[in-house]
Amino acid sequence: MIETITYADGAVRLLDQTRLPTEVVVHDCRTAAELAEAIRTMRVRGAPALGIAAAYALALGAREYPGEDPAAFRAHLERVAAEVRATRPTAVNLFWAVARALAVADAALPQGVAAAREALLQLAHRLREEDVAINRQMGAHGAALVPDGARVLTHCNAGALATGGYGTALGVIRGAVEAGKRLHVYVDETRPFLQGARLTAWELHADGIPLTLITDNMAGYFMAQGKVDLVIVGADRIAANGDVANKIGTYSLAVLAQAHGIPFYVAAPLSTVDLGLPDGAAIPIEERAPTEVTHLAGQRIAPEGIAVANPAFDVTPARYVTAIITERGILRPPYEAALRTALATADDSGVERPASEEPPASGARAR
């Protein structure tokens, strides 16, 4: 069992994803600021994991306020929330978790600051446990889409490391394997941060699931050779119409899949859905540091003084998405109706989603 985020002795413990696969190092965060920095530097990453980490950040932040004054506590919590929201703009789960945490704190505050602190910590624990359960549900649903013997291509890391455990896209792969299917996974290395080469390859190899590591630009080659039966990726945010923001390169894969008649599936919990955005055009796309492109393992791999682009995500229009695999089942186009129905079902079924929740990050936060 890969322990992406745990909590012990007052510290949030992250399996440091900047050190994998060559080193397995646990990075402890004892303050909200330390955890926010760990999110920014991608020691923890992946949309669902960011939601869990954000909830823990608010729990740590709540502990840092020493007094018992509810209004001052709430103002402090709002500053922590702002710091967490400022870390990474694209994955909506982070904003969703912050909103949930603030709602939970507000509900507990009448019982005092200590009660609110405890409620925040319990929320973070619960989000983590819920996430694993949700991923297992996705895995069970999605396995039906994966034929025995399938060659599956995936991009980035939508695995245990991107979540509380088990994974979204890799959860579907794990679900299919647990259902007795023999799979082979083509793993895109996923430049520039190499989440595929470093994290997905490591996870699958540890689980004994056969894989072939490829560079991102080889995907079309293997599709043309008839060696890819389906593509499964995760998502950082899904707009109301089904447009999907995910790791840079996802859009190119989707276009290639369609050109080759290959199904393109997105596996994501419903917390990834942002009904506040009508389509993907308003999803904020994070631009990360040029050094992620120009340097690798501390070594310069490009000349000095040149311009570099580093958008961390792209948006795949819904028309390229064959189906969206969620914890409430497999959604098919038209997505707007399917997503709204699934979210209503989720609200009825005990998966928490406060009706009063503020809309997550809108286009106004875009950069």
Q: Is 314 in the site for its own copies (CB under 8 A)?
A: yes
User: Residue 367 and residue 360: Cα distance in Å, rounded?
Assistant: 15
User: Residue 335 and residue 152: Cα distance in Å, rounded?
Assistant: 23
Residues 290-309 close enough to bind its own copies by CB under 8 A: 293-294, 296-303, 305-309
Identify the CA nearest to 48 among candidates 272, 326, 340, 346. Answer: 272
Q: Is 239 in the site for its own copies (CB under 8 A)?
A: no
Tally Cβ neighbours within 10 Å of residue 29.
24
Q: Which of 76, 198, 288, 328 binds its own copies (CB under 8 A)?
A: 198
User: Residue 264 and residue 182: Cα distance in Å, rounded?
Assistant: 19
CB-nearer residue toward its own copies: 87 or 316: 316
What radius of gyration do the chain's Cα atoms show? Answer: 20
Residue with structure tokens 């920095």?
37
Contact stretch for its own copies (CB under 8 A) within 46-54, 105-113, 136-144, 244-252: 244-252
User: Residue 249 and residue 133: Cα distance in Å, rounded?
Assistant: 28
Shortest separation between residue 364's beta carbon and its own copies, angstroms: 20
Tokens representing 174 are: 């794990």
| Inter-CA distances, 172 with 86, 100, 138, 349, 357, Å | 31, 27, 6, 22, 29
What distance lies between CA 319 and its chain's CA centroid? Answer: 22
User: Residue 132 and residue 1: Cα distance in Å, rounded?
Assistant: 11
Taking the chain, what is the end-to-end CA distance rounded to the nearest angstrom?
Answer: 37
Contact stretch for its own copies (CB under 8 A) within 162-170, 184-192, 237-245, 358-366: 184-192
Shortest separation between residue 161's beta carbon and its own copies, angstroms: 13
Q: Compute the Cα dihedral for 289, 292, 297, 299 and give only its sign.
A: negative
Q: Catalytic residue positions?
A: 236
CB-nearer residue toward its own copies: 255 or 275: 255
CB-nearer residue toward its own copies: 103 or 285: 285
- Residues forming beta bridges with residue 50, ordered by sequence position: none
Q: Is 341 in the site for its own copies (CB under 8 A)?
A: no
User: Residue 181 and residue 174: Cα distance in Å, rounded?
Assistant: 10
Number of residues engaging its own copies in binding (CB under 8 A):
53
CB-nearer residue toward its own copies: 140 or 214: 214
Burial of residue 54 (CB within 10 Å: 0-12, 13-18, 19+) is: buried
Binding mask 257-286 for its own copies (x = CB under 8 A): --x---------------------------
Shortest separation between residue 220's beta carbon and its own copies, angstroms: 3
Shortest separation between residue 310's beta carbon and its own copies, angstroms: 8
CB-nearer residue toward its own copies: 82 or 224: 224
Q: Which of 27, 43, 100, 191 binds its own copies (CB under 8 A)?
A: 191
User: Residue 50 and residue 34: Cα distance in Å, rounded?
Assistant: 14
Contact stretch for its own copies (CB under 8 A) within 81-89, 121-129, 140-148, 208-216: 208-216
Residues 113-172 close enough to bind its own copies by CB under 8 A: none
Shortest separation between residue 214's beta carbon and its own copies, angstroms: 5
Q: Which of 57, 194, 233, 323 binds its own copies (CB under 8 A)?
A: 194
Chain residues in the site for its own copies (CB under 8 A): 21-22, 188-192, 194, 197-198, 201-202, 205, 210-222, 224, 248-249, 251-252, 255-256, 259, 293-294, 296-303, 305-311, 314-315
